[in-house]
Chain A
Amino acid sequence: MKSAGITRWTKAALAMATALFATAAWANPEAWQMTMPEGVTQSSHEVYNLFLISFWVCVGIGIVVYGVMVIAMIRFRKSKGAVAEKWSHNAKLETIWTIIPVLILAGLAWPASGVLTKMADTTDSAMTIKVTGYQWLWRYDYIDYMGKQVDKVGFVSRLAKSSNLARQLDSSHSPWDVKSKSGYHTYLLNVDKPLVLPVGVKIRFLITGGDVIHSWWVPDLGWKMDAIPGIVNAAWTEIKKPGIYRGQCAELCGKDHSAMPIVVKAVPKAQFNRWLAAHESDATLDKVSRTAKAPDGKAKTAGHQG
């Protein structure tokens, strides 16, 4: 890892530059990444733009405020013989700098409200997936697709072996050696069974928790939603381009909170249809459960339910 270290640091400057100037859209976390991923859905783009707008607005205000401060610190220092004036208020100024922020904020709130209402609208989705968080894995159940019920397609998705070995205290395996075929560092971001989804379909997620609160988050989809025991939350996405999108549980859920990643494998419709057909006929998969039952059969409880 030492050698890796050196090269990493040399790459750094360049990476930083790209991060700053090009609005580089990362697929998955990259070294020296400094901005939010643009993502692969309409919503994620809009969220990304909100982030940029609010960021630059703050930069603007910052330049003004800090600028004035710096000027004051340079021009009015006692050591330069500045003598203090006595005035201590100015009604006009005070009203101005009460009004202007209000306007700026309104300018920020407006687009935000639009994006929010759109993201909250899960109606007329063509597919439903039920996501259940457990300590410490995710269960996915395919509920319906293109208007018809899907049956017996559901599975649990656990942290992949390679990561699991490397994450043990003083493990002999280095996190740096955990890589995907493409050579991407997947440490703590790879699973045994990814969630396979079609692109170009409005997918509704029903998200709940089996034991404690988790949070289902794939940055490239542009949102996270808490998985709460006893409660079902809804969210939706429509992925634009095929690819592998990685995320993590984003609510403290105990010991292995850092080890229950999410991997979404977005594939073209046709390919997805084949995948689904194959799995529907495949009986080896455990049954779909519409209640929060634990994958390993024994009834873990939503709260103390049961």
Chain B
Amino acid sequence: MAQRSAYFIPTNSPWPMVGCVGIFCTLFGAAHWLNHSHGIGQPLFYAGIAVLLFMMFGWFRSVIHESLKGNYNDQVDTSFRMGMMWFIFSEVMFFGAFFGALFYARILSVPWIGGEGHGILTNAYLWPQYSPAWPTNGPANIGGDFQPMGAWGLALLNTVLLLTSSVTVTIAHHALRSGHRGRLKVFLALTFILGALFVYSQANEYAEAYEHLNLTLQSGIYGSTFFLLTGFHGCHVIIGTTMLIVIWIRVMKGHFDKDNHFAFEAVAWYWHFVDVVWLNLFVFVYVL
């Protein structure tokens, strides 16, 4: 709760504006690009991304400066923490939508199309030849025959990678708290290396899927859920890894101390969140 020290209110900042320009270019560009492979869309999109990166750089820079100047009181710190926590919560809900789709398809719509219970007429009159199964690309065999992605190959490896990485990040955190900066640097580095490795083998998995399994985005509901869930998770791993690298650089620069390292914790939380999402993915997308 608020203690009686003066409120901290940042002075006017240009970065939100830059952010708006960035988001506008990115998504307006993306929209054009989706509709016409040529034209302004693509360049606009990349320009937007660049502006967004510039925005983050500048925005975080000013925040870091203020924090190093010691402008922040505990209240600001708490605000940042709450901000990050609830942001992660909204991310959870975002993944919730896709898990929801997965469960709905597996538990309800696929069996119905296959003629179970409520869907008996649907099956009899529209898809008589279809019997429910998972994985499936639907009665129309959309995208052609395919093989599902196995759980005990790359997926398992990825699970191991991510699990270890969240161990290493925790070790790094303890090292930071107990002021062992050497250990901190090493384990933080380990963490983002593991993250990068994950991204790498995920990429291999996709290549495998497209080249050998004929498992693509077009492979009916299985392909759809598989690629969107793993894909969005992958994006989050990439973001998380980048953040870890940034934090690592700051550590090398000697930022953070025992009791003042919110940025570090925020990234750690995010990394654990990415990890938990993966565990659910592994269980519900690969194993079951």
Contact A304 to B140, CB < 8 A, known contacts A208-B126, A230-B126: yes
The residue on A at minimum CB distance from B113 is A230
Is A306 touching B140 in the complex (CB atoms < 8 A)?
yes
In the docked arrangement, what's the CA distance between A62 and B110, Å?
46
In the docked arrangement, what's the CA distance between A306 and B140, Å?
6
Tell me if A20 is interfacial: C-beta within 8 Å of chain B: no
Tell me if A119 is interfacial: C-beta within 8 Å of chain B: no
Contact A232 to B142, CB < 8 A, known contacts A291-B126, A292-B126: no
Tell me if B73 is interfacial: C-beta within 8 Å of chain A: no
Please encode chain A, from 224 to 247, with 1 for each CB lying within 8 Å of some chain B CB and 0 for all others: 000000111110000000000000
Residues in B whose Cβ lies below 8 Å from that of A231? 112, 119, 122, 126
Is A232 touching B122 in the complex (CB atoms < 8 A)?
yes
Residues in B whose Cβ lies below 8 Å from that of A305? 139-140
In the docked arrangement, what's the CA distance between A130 and B121, Å?
11
The residue on A at minimum CB distance from B109 is A231
Residues in A whose Cβ lies below 8 Å from that of B139? 305
Please encode chain B, from 80 to 118, with 1 for each CB lying within 8 Å of some chain A CB and 0 for all others: 000000000000000000000000000000001100000
In the docked arrangement, what's the CA distance between A233 and B122, Å?
7
Residues in A whose Cβ lies below 8 Å from that of B142? 304
Please encode chain A, from 274 to 306, with 1 for each CB lying within 8 Å of some chain B CB and 0 for all others: 000000000000000011100000000010111
Most buried by A among B112, B119, B139, B140: B140
Is A208 touching B140 in the complex (CB atoms < 8 A)?
no
Tell me if A206 is interfacial: C-beta within 8 Å of chain B: yes
Q: How large is the interface on B (under 10, 10 to 19, 20 to 34, 35 or more residues)?
A: 10 to 19
Tell me if B8 is interfacial: C-beta within 8 Å of chain A: no
Is A206 touching B125 in the complex (CB atoms < 8 A)?
yes
A-B contact count (CB 8 A): 29
In the docked arrangement, what's the CA distance between A275 and B126, Å?
28
Residues in A whose Cβ lies below 8 Å from that of B112? 231
Is B140 touching A206 in the complex (CB atoms < 8 A)?
no
Please encode chain A, from 129 to 157, with 1 for each CB lying within 8 Å of some chain B CB and 0 for all others: 01000000000000000000000000000
In the docked arrangement, what's the CA distance between A269 and B139, Å?
39
Partner of A206, one of B113, B119, B121: B121
Residues in B whose Cβ lies below 8 Å from that of A302? 126
Is A290 touching B121 in the complex (CB atoms < 8 A)?
no
Most buried by A among B119, B121, B140: B121
In the docked arrangement, what's the CA distance between A183 and B148, Å?
64
Is A130 touching B140 in the complex (CB atoms < 8 A)?
no
Is B140 touching A232 in the complex (CB atoms < 8 A)?
no
In the docked arrangement, what's the CA distance between A232 and B115, Å?
11
B121-148 interface (Cβ within 8 A of A):
121-122, 124-126, 139-140, 142
Residues in B whose Cβ lies below 8 Å from that of A292? 126
Residues in B whose Cβ lies below 8 Å from that of A291? 125-126
Most buried by B among A130, A232, A234, A305: A232
In the docked arrangement, what's the CA distance between A291 and B113, Å?
14
26 contacts between A and B (CB under 8 A): A130-B125, A206-B125, A208-B125, A208-B126, A230-B113, A230-B122, A230-B126, A231-B112, A231-B119, A231-B122, A231-B126, A232-B122, A232-B124, A232-B125, A233-B121, A234-B121, A290-B125, A291-B125, A291-B126, A292-B126, A302-B126, A304-B140, A304-B142, A305-B139, A305-B140, A306-B140
Interchain residue pairs A-B with the least CB separation, the first 4: A232-B121, A232-B122, A305-B140, A232-B125
A231-B112, A232-B125, A232-B126 known; 13 new pairs, CB 8 Å cut-off, are A130-B125, A206-B125, A208-B126, A230-B122, A230-B126, A231-B119, A231-B126, A232-B121, A233-B121, A291-B125, A304-B142, A305-B140, A306-B140
